[in-house]
Amino acid sequence: MTYSPSLADIPITPLGDSALIVKFGDSIQKDTHHKVRQLAEHLDRQPFNWMVEVVPTFTSVTIYYDTMKLLAESVKQGGDIQAESPFKLAAESVFQLLQTLRDVNASSARTVEIPVCYGGDFGPDLETVASRNGLTPQEVIDIHGSADYLVYMLGFAPGFAYLGGMSVRIATPRRETPRISIPAGTVGIAGDQTGVYPIDTPGGWQLIGKTPIELFKPQQMPPTLLQAGDIVRFYPITREQFESWEETVR
Amino acid sequence: MSLLIEKPGLLTTVQDLGRFGVQKYGVIVSGAMDAFALRIANLLVGNAEGEAGLEITLLGPVIRFERTTLISLCGGDLSPELNGVPIPLWRTVLAPKGSVLAFGPMKLGCRAYLAVGGGVDVPARMNSRSTYLRAGIGGYEGRALAVGDRLSLGEMTPQGSQILGLLAREASKETGAVSRWAVFPEMLPKYAANPIVQLIPGEEYELFQEQSQHDLWQEEFAVLPQSDRMGYRFKGRELQLNHSKEMISSAVTMGTVQVPPDGNPIILMADRQTTGGYPKIGQVASVDLPLLAQASLGARVRFQKVTLQEAQRQWIERETAIQTLREGLEQLETSYR
């Protein structure tokens, strides 16, 4: 079941009986990401009062709704509680919002710089990534540290950012045997993706280094260093810098 | 002022209705697996329905009440006893100071919810008191309860005090008192050892082989031992796509039925990740989530097709019944003479 009035080029589909998905595209692209962010940011600023929360992902925005609030709202405006479909009511409101959002720009991106101590016991797979790509470890570091990465979405773990923009020159498949525990702050590569583990997690990524800064800060709001739409840059630091960084934080 | 945990049970955690508003940061929702049971338990002790209570799993704890308070147990029947006397579910119970709550064998369902007058008072983290075990956040020190833990209670609402007053008239110091009022059995979910669970066909339903679509509605699926608060894993007929499909991760929710390449469905539950990339063959109707939350390992589950409209109609009916209960409890003083 899809709600798509004749005007709509953006399908709105149900996710069960208490959420709907606004889908802006079928592939991971910057253009789609901007539309996702535009809607998600608008809803963060001006939520519908029946909205529970909004979750932006690669190509879509999911809006969770409170059925009873939605109906109460509709009855207030003269609707018939027996006749209304909550999904349709929510989809109509979102559809109308989309018409007004067309010309609004998403806010300009923040740039977040993340220091990384590459190699050694922080990055036990740096050599593997280098040799599999016919590079030296230093070249891997240079390539990893020279790109602007776009945060498409957060997921998998609290504060984990799905980053786009890594050079295929350092792409490396996952390890055949995942590690049982990877410490928070570890930077890894899996296929053509790179990312930072925000909490201790098992995982199969190739580990190339570690950052001393926290990506998940549950005592703060927002609780994460990175947010969808941010630009991330990695830069190398020495072991000494890493350790003094941790000292200052403590 | 508190609850003392004398034995922790198998897995007893502080939960409320979940941590909403932070999924966009990758933070999971958590909260009670059987949210209906926790909401009702809270209402019965005069709390707001989203107060924190205890989720008690399979093997119950032993809890001493260090002050006289109201309690209610809802959800799974783990044979609760107060000072050795069995107490019924879905009612309000006055627990005298010093009384001890213990549990016996699991009769129906596997998760009991304990609400206490005033609620369990632990600090809210990201707007919720729910325990997020894996990240060690929320609840009581971010973990399951252990021997010797002492939980503070919040202040009882005026309504709770009123109910306490009503029950105190007939309470004895040893056994407390059990309310004569109870929740209408008709409004309870149809809890069963082998439940029938309604599913709305999911976004990728049509991409599954015709045989798999047929099997989904006709075959039984058994809950595997690897099931937990994060998700239920099932074993039954394997469900296969017509053509394998490269999926882009998108949001998932409680009750999403996703099918990894091995063909064995997983239903995402309270501690699910915020996003997922497996094809979604269905979505559990919200009214039936409690049935799954109470399904034990080995339970044989059947799925029944339901339309979105019908699922929402049933949800509205359920919410209206809860509203009626809420209003009934507000008028207790006048009706209970």
Task: Give Cα separations from B39 to A3, B79, B133 (angstroms).
Answer: 32, 20, 22
Tokens 């309310």 — which residue?
Answer: B179
With beta carbons under 8 A apart, name residues in chain A contacting B27.
Answer: 158, 218, 223
Contact B285 A17 (CB under 8 A): yes
With beta carbons under 8 A apart, name residues in chain B contacting A223.
Answer: 22, 25, 27, 126
**Domain residue limits at B276:** 196-306
Confidence bin at A81 (pLDDT 50/70/90): low
Q: Is the peptide bond before B279 cis (omega within 30 degrees of 0)?
A: no
Q: Is residue B82 part of a domain?
A: yes
* Tens of pLDDT, residues A31-61: 999 999 999 999 999 999 999 999 999 999 9
Q: Could you give the CA distance from residue B287 to residue B284 in angstroms, rounded to a whole number?
A: 8
Nearest-by-Cβ selection for B286 from A18, A53, A224 = A18
Contact B275 A55 (CB under 8 A): yes
What average pLDDT score do residues A77-90 get? 82
Chain B interface test: which of A13, A15, A17, A87 (most B C-beta within 10 Å): A17
Q: Which of A12-16, A97-101, A239-243, B227-231 has the lowest mean pLDDT?
A: A97-101
**Residue B210: which CATH number?**
2.40.100.10
What average pLDDT score do residues B202-219 get? 97
Contact B203 A67 (CB under 8 A): no
Q: What CATH class does A12-101 carry? A: alpha beta
Residue B336 in this model has a pLDDT that exceeds 80: no
Confidence bin at A82 (pLDDT 50/70/90): low
**Which backbone phi and psi does B119 adopt, to 5 degrees?**
80, 160
Residues contacting B117, CB < 8 A, separation 6+: B45, B46, B47, B69, B70, B71, B153, B156, B157, B160, B164
pLDDT of residue A125: 97
| Angle, alpha carbons A115-A120-A124 (nearest 5°) | 100
The answer to whether residues B34 and B141 belong to one domain is yes
With beta carbons under 8 A apart, name residues in chain A contacting B200.
Answer: 14, 16-17
- DSSP bridge partners of B1: none
The answer to whether residues B45 and B97 belong to one domain is yes
Q: Which of A149-153, A219-223, B71-75, B316-320 has the lowest mean pLDDT?
A: A219-223
Q: Is residue B175 part of a domain?
A: yes
DSSP labels, B86-128: E--SSEEEEE-TT-EEEE----EEEEEEEEETT-B----BTTB
Contact A59 B23 (CB under 8 A): no
Q: Is residue B320 part of a domain?
A: no
Last residue of a domain, one of B187, B209, B230: B187
SS (H, E, C) B203-270: CCHHHECHHHHHHHHHCEEEECCCCCCCEEEEECCCCCECCCCCCCCEECCCCEEECCCCCCCEEECC
Tokens 């997690």 — which residue?
Answer: A201
User: Could you tell me which of B194, B255, B254 has the C-alpha nearest to residue B219?
Assistant: B194
* Tens of pLDDT, residues B35-62: 999 999 999 999 999 999 999 999 999 9
User: Could you tell me which of A55, A42, A97, A92 has the C-alpha nearest to residue A70?
Assistant: A92
User: Could you tell me which of A242, A247, A8, A26 has the C-alpha nearest to residue A117?
Assistant: A242
Domain boundaries, chain A: 12-101, 111-249
Confidence bin at A176 (pLDDT 50/70/90): confident
Structure tokens at B315: 């949800």
* Tens of pLDDT, residues B269-281: 999 999 998 999 9
Confidence bin at B332 (pLDDT 50/70/90): confident
Looking at chain B, the whole-number percentage of residues with pLDDT higher than 90 is: 90
Q: How far is CA B189 from the centre of its chain?
A: 12
- Helix or strand or coil: residue A11? coil
With beta carbons under 8 A apart, name residues in chain A contacting B130.
Answer: none
Residue B144 in this model has a pLDDT that exceeds 60: yes
Report the gap between the CA of A218 and the closest CA in chain B (Å): 7
Would you say B327 and B227 are in contact if contact means Cβ atoms under 8 Å apart?
A: no
Contact A223 B22 (CB under 8 A): yes
Mean of the per-residue pLDDT values for chain B?
A: 95
Mean of the per-residue pLDDT values for chain A?
A: 91
The answer to whether residues B290 and B151 belong to one domain is no
* Complex-level ipTM: 0.95
With beta carbons under 8 A apart, name residues in chain B contacting A154.
Answer: 24-26, 274
Would you say B266 and B234 are in contact if contact means Cβ atoms under 8 Å apart?
A: yes
The answer to whether residues B6 and B112 belong to one domain is yes
Q: What is the DSSP letter of A120?
A: G
Tokens 């044989």 — which residue?
Answer: B300
pLDDT of residue B1: 64
The answer to whether residues B223 and B175 belong to one domain is no
Structure tokens at A204: 């199969």
User: Could you tell me which of B149, B97, B151, B147 has the C-alpha nearest to residue B129?
Assistant: B151
With beta carbons under 8 A apart, name residues in chain A contacting B253.
Answer: 15-16, 18-19, 62, 64
Chain A interface test: which of B20, B25, B127, B133 (most A C-beta within 10 Å): B25
The answer to whether residues B123 and B217 belong to one domain is no
pLDDT of residue A105: 65
Contact B26 A224 (CB under 8 A): yes
Last residue of a domain, one of B187, B219, B252: B187
Residue A4 in this model has a pLDDT that exceeds 60: no
* Structural domain count, chain B: 2
Contact B249 A153 (CB under 8 A): yes
Q: Is residue B156 part of a domain?
A: yes
DSSP H helical segments within A102-238, as ranges? 126-132, 137-144
pLDDT of residue A249: 65
* Tens of pLDDT, residues A95-112: 999 988 876 666 678 999
The answer to whether residues B208 and B180 belong to one domain is no
Q: Is residue B246 part of a domain?
A: yes
The answer to whether residues B132 and B248 belong to one domain is no
What average pLDDT score do residues A123-141 get? 97
Nearest-by-Cβ selection for B200 from A16, A52, A53 = A16
The answer to whether residues B92 and B176 belong to one domain is yes
Count of residues making up chain A: 250
Contact B248 A58 (CB under 8 A): yes
Contact B248 A19 (CB under 8 A): no
pLDDT of residue A246: 81
* Tens of pLDDT, residues B244-262: 887 888 999 999 999 999 9
Looking at chain B, the whole-number percentage of residues with pLDDT higher than 70 is: 99
The answer to whether residues B164 and B38 belong to one domain is yes
Instruction: Please say whether the structural domain A111-249 has been given the CATH code 2.40.30.10.
Output: no
Residue B337 in this model has a pLDDT that exceeds 60: no
User: Could you tell me which of A181, A157, A224 has the C-alpha nearest to residue B275?
Assistant: A157
With beta carbons under 8 A apart, name residues in chain B contacting A58.
Answer: 248-250
Q: How far is CA B229 from the centre of its chain?
A: 10
Would you say B111 and B89 are in contact if contact means Cβ atoms under 8 Å apart?
A: no
Residue B24 in this model has a pLDDT that exceeds 90: yes
- DSSP bridge partners of A186: A210
Residue B303 in this model has a pLDDT that exceeds 90: yes
Are domains A12-101 and A111-249 of this chain identical in fold? no
What average pLDDT score do residues A8-24 get? 92
The larger pLDDT score, comparing residue B256 to residue B335, is at: B256
Tokens 């960084």 — which residue?
Answer: A245
pLDDT of residue B331: 87
Residue A8 in this model has a pLDDT that exceeds 60: no
pLDDT of residue A3: 55
The answer to whether residues B208 and B177 belong to one domain is no
The answer to whether residues B151 and B36 belong to one domain is yes
Residue B282 in this model has a pLDDT that exceeds 60: yes
Q: Is residue B154 part of a domain?
A: yes
